[in-house]
Amino acid sequence: MLRSSTALGWAAAFLAPALISSLDALSNRPSYQLAGFLYLLAVSLAAYLGGFAAGLVATVLATLGLDYFFTPPRHDFVPASTDQAAGVALFFVVAILISQLFGRRRQVQRQAEAASARANRLQAVTARLAEAVTPQQVLDAIVTEGVEAAEARAGAIGLVTADGQMIEIVAQRGYERNLFVGWESFPLASDTPMGKAIRDESPFFFSTSAERDAAFSTMSTLGGPSHALAILPLVVEGRAIGAIAFTFPTEIEFDAERRALKATLAQQAAQAIDRVRLYEAERALRQRMTFLADASELLGSSLDYEATLAQLARLAVPEMATWCSVDMVGPDRSIQRLAVAHEDPERAAWAERLGEEYPPDPDQPMGVPNVIRTMTAEFVPEITDELLVEAAQGDERLLEIVRELGLRSAITVPLIARGRALGALSLIRDDSAPRYTELDLDLASELARRAASAVDNAGLYREAERRGDASRALAHVDDGVVLLDEEGAVVSINPAAARILAVDEATVVGETAVGSIGGWSEIEDNARPERGGTRGPVTLPLVLSNGNERWISVSGVDFGDGAVYALRDVTEERLLERTRSDFVATASHELRTPLAAVLGAVKTLRREDVSFDPDQREMLMDMIDREAERLSGIVGQILLTGQLDAGRLRLEHERFDPVALTKSVVDSAELHLPTGIELRVQAEKDVPAVAGDENQLRQVISNLVDNAIKYSPQGGDVELRLNRNGQFARIEVADSGLGIPRDEHDRIFEKFYRLDPALTRGVNGTGLGLYISKELVERMNGRISVDSEPGRGSTFVVEVPLAI
Ligand code: ADP
């Protein structure tokens, strides 16, 4: 606008006086005074529009015009009188003054306009800067708006890296493509204008590139034709965070105003960048928090850790990584790839195949195996080509592949839980994303920590569930199971084992088995398996914590971290076994005695060399009869036991008189009563009829009577008493014989059970009589019991239900 008005001013300077001079041609031309006034107007106009210089030109032309055309004598430069000459001179002075007045006014206006234009540009820069959210946008604002003010052709912004060591070119505009190749980042300490400007926090202005090259020899290779350069530090809160460079298309003299303007731009840029950084940091933080929150939610959502980790890998892409992979340590310590994620599923699948083709070598000096082995993160902010060459380990094809991927930056963090590396999480970015920073490493570490604890929890839960199942099962099995740790302390003991070993679970868990379980040293000595081996089963007699002696069958399995023992109380089987073998011995003895007697008698009778008198013959025949009876009795007992065990014995249900039955048993016993035994029956009056199997009850009573006689070797009374007890008829068989110790009262009713021969003075028997009696009575819905003490005789009581 100023420029066009200057042109008008010059036009006016020439044309306006010429126009007024041309009025001379009019017949009615203006008077000398009027012409003078018009000339002054023309000068004013020229000075107003064109400044003092135009005003001066107009003044000279107007003065000449006034003198020549309008001052008498007209058309002559020499005035007619001194008055007129003074008039022209006065006109000249007034016109000069007017020119000066308007010229100064114009200059002031021009300055004001320039200042306002500058302010406008700065304001435009400020407005654009306010909107900028990336360093590139800041630079664009400065270069496109500000640079117009700065008259620059191109610009670049370099920022000091977080570690304070390097300068990184974060944005540039207007330079030839390859200018910054190799200069993307360079040390702050380098001999460069940016380095020095930042270090000294003071700007550099070079009017030519030669000037720059003289000051900074390293720069001479950089940049093209001769141009001016300005480098200004970006200072925020008294600290240089970077520098901005302006490159000019021509050589420029940097006057104070230019320098001040650039300083203002740099200041604005610094503030904008600081704000952008804060914004970036805040945005990144928010993004991280959101990511972590999402990841945590995901990790907590399922116990299927394999699926969850695969989802996590997908969640990390693309915000956190271009590539994300999870590798886990398998049970055989091998490393297995669990998941690979990439934005493009096809690429992920391809990477998975590549992973299969190149399985990780556990001894690899870097990467996942190294991270797992050393349990420390690997952070490669800048993946250099040397690194790729090293990683490819001479495999040209692999090198080509990884080069083509354009990998830029990588983080690999171990998944550690309870001091164990479970696997590793890898994050890789390619050229499309910024390099990883320490903050990203922190985030990845946090993510790995959470993922590891989720995996561990899932494992613990599965284990607990499995153990829960196992311990539930163990709680219900009858076999005892004891789990010991490596040191022999009880880790767990199931209820059956506690019962078998007569201990309390709560008091032994955590204690050593030898110290807390009675008899365990016996087990330790005889059943302890070798490391990793099994032993047993062995059957041991143990004296338990409660002092009882029990036969326990034990087998042990050692599984490295401890041993598990299975226990079974085989006391009963053992006794049965013993009594059974005892029975075989007794039965054969029992059978052999009468058989020998019968055989002996028969052989004697058949002797032809001896003649027997009738008494002797009768005695021998009697013996055959008695012993055959005894034989048949023993065989009968054995058969009956067999029937009872097989459940094949059918009992009658009849009504009969117990008194008559008892008397008949006593009558037949009387027939061969040993000497010194008295048999007596005492029946209450009116003992009612009972219901049951009469023959079998006869068997029971005669068993009891036989025993009473047998176990009274010194002789004595055997009394049978009958009375009514409520709904039962009660039959007692009382003797005054050897008697039975109290703690054997139950056992004598067991199959094959016989008292110690020392207690029975060698009286023969099979140990089946009382067993059969009890079985028969109970099948008649009755009961049988004994009351006895050694040396004081025994009273057996049978109760049979009354007939209704
Ligand atoms: P056995 O054929 O040995 O007599 P039993 O089953 O009839 O078999 O008796 C079991 C054991 O009970 C006997 O061996 C004996 O020790 C004891 N017994 C049975 N009755 C008497 C009794 N009246 N007096 C003492 N001991 C007895």
Q: For 166-187, what is each residue's pLDDT tens digit? A: 998 888 877 777 777 777 888 9
Closest protein CA for atom 8 of ligand 1: 767
Stretch 668-694: mean pLDDT, rounded?
92
H helix and E strand count, the chain: 24, 23
Cα of 677 vs centre of ligand 1, distance in Å, is: 17
Q: Judge whether residue 572 has pLDDT over 90.
A: no
In CATH, the number for domain 574-641 is 1.10.287.130
pLDDT attached to residue 63: 92
> For residues 674 and 703, what is the distance between their CA atoms, to the nearest angstrom?
16
Ligand 1: atom nearest CA of 772 is 6
> For residues 738 and 761, what is the distance between their CA atoms, to the nearest angstrom?
9
CATH architecture of 475-569: 2-Layer Sandwich (3.30)
Domain residue spans in the chain?
2-111, 151-282, 303-460, 475-569, 574-641, 650-801
Q: For 137-173, what is each residue's pLDDT tens digit? A: 887 777 666 556 556 778 888 989 878 899 988 888 7
Question: For 4-8, 524-528, 531-535, 608-612, which range has the lowest pLDDT when averaged over its residues?
Answer: 4-8
Closest protein CA for atom 16 of ligand 1: 755
- Ligand 1 binding pocket (C-beta < 6 A) is 703, 707-708, 711, 735, 737-740, 748, 754-755, 760, 765-771, 794
Q: For 377-410, what is each residue's pLDDT tens digit? A: 999 998 888 888 887 788 888 888 878 888 889 9
Residue among 408, 406, 341, 421 at smallest CA distance from 380? 408
> For residues 773 and 754, what is the distance between their CA atoms, to the nearest angstrom?
15
Q: Judge whether residue 518 has pLDDT over 50.
A: yes
> For residues 321 and 339, what is the distance between their CA atoms, to the nearest angstrom?
14
CA 127: distance to chain centroid?
50
Closest protein CA for atom 11 of ligand 1: 754
Mean pLDDT of the chain: 86
Residue 107, C-beta contacts closer than 8 angstroms, at least 6 positions apart = 51, 52
Amino acid at residue number 420: R
239 phi/psi in degrees, rounded to 5: -130, 135
Pocket test of ligand 1: the residue of 638, 754, 786 to mutate, having most ligand atoms within 8 Å of its CB, is: 754
pLDDT attached to residue 147: 57
pLDDT attached to residue 222: 59
CATH of 650-801, one of 3.90.550.10, 1.10.3720.10, 3.90.950.20, 3.30.565.10: 3.30.565.10
132 phi/psi in degrees, rounded to 5: -70, 135
Rg (CA), the chain: 62
**How many other CB atoms are found less than 10 A from the CB of residue 319?**
12
pLDDT attached to residue 1: 47
pLDDT attached to residue 225: 56
Tell me: cis bond preceding 318? Omega within 30 of 0 counts. Answer: yes
Same fold across 151-282 and 475-569: yes
The residue ranking higher by pLDDT, 345 or 520, is 520
Give the tokens for residue 664.
Answer: 């008949």
Give the tokens for residue 133.
Answer: 């959210």
Q: For 45-101, what is each residue's pLDDT tens digit? A: 998 888 888 999 999 999 999 889 888 888 888 888 888 889 889 999 999 999 999
Reply yes or no on domain 151-282 having CATH 3.30.450.40.
yes
Q: For 274-305, what is each residue's pLDDT tens digit? A: 888 888 778 878 888 888 888 888 777 777 88
Give the tokens for residue 764.
Answer: 């023969």
The residue ranking higher by pLDDT, 520 or 304, is 520
Closest protein CA for atom 7 of ligand 1: 769
Stretch 752-759: mean pLDDT, rounded?
81
Pocket test of ligand 1: the residue of 635, 748, 764 to mutate, having most ligand atoms within 8 Å of its CB, is: 748
Expressed in percent and rounded to 5, the helix, strand and coil fractions of the chain are 55, 20, 25
The model carries a pTM of 0.46
Tell me which DSSP letter residue 66 carries: I
Cα of 276 vs centre of ligand 1, distance in Å, is: 106
CB 416 within 8 A of CB 422: yes
Residue 301, C-beta contacts closer than 8 angstroms, at least 6 positions apart = 308
Residue among 89, 234, 75, 97 at smallest CA distance from 160? 234
* 3-state secondary structure (DSSP) of residue 746: coil
Closest protein CA for atom 13 of ligand 1: 754
**pLDDT over 70, % of the chain:** 97
Residue among 760, 776, 756, 651 at smallest CA distance from 703? 776
HEC profile of 76-96: CCCCCCHHHHHHHHHHHHHHH
Closest protein CA for atom 2 of ligand 1: 765
Question: For 220-229, 421-430, 519-528, which range has the lowest pLDDT when averaged over its residues?
Answer: 220-229
Strand order in the sheet with 728-735: 677-683, 716-725, 728-735, 794-801, 783-788
CB 454 within 8 A of CB 305: yes
CB 155 within 8 A of CB 244: yes
244 phi/psi in degrees, rounded to 5: -120, 135
Ligand 1: atom nearest CA of 796 is 23
In CATH, the number for domain 303-460 is 3.30.450.40
Stretch 359-376: mean pLDDT, rounded?
85
Confidence of residue 726 (pLDDT cuts 50, 70, 90): very high
pLDDT attached to residue 366: 81
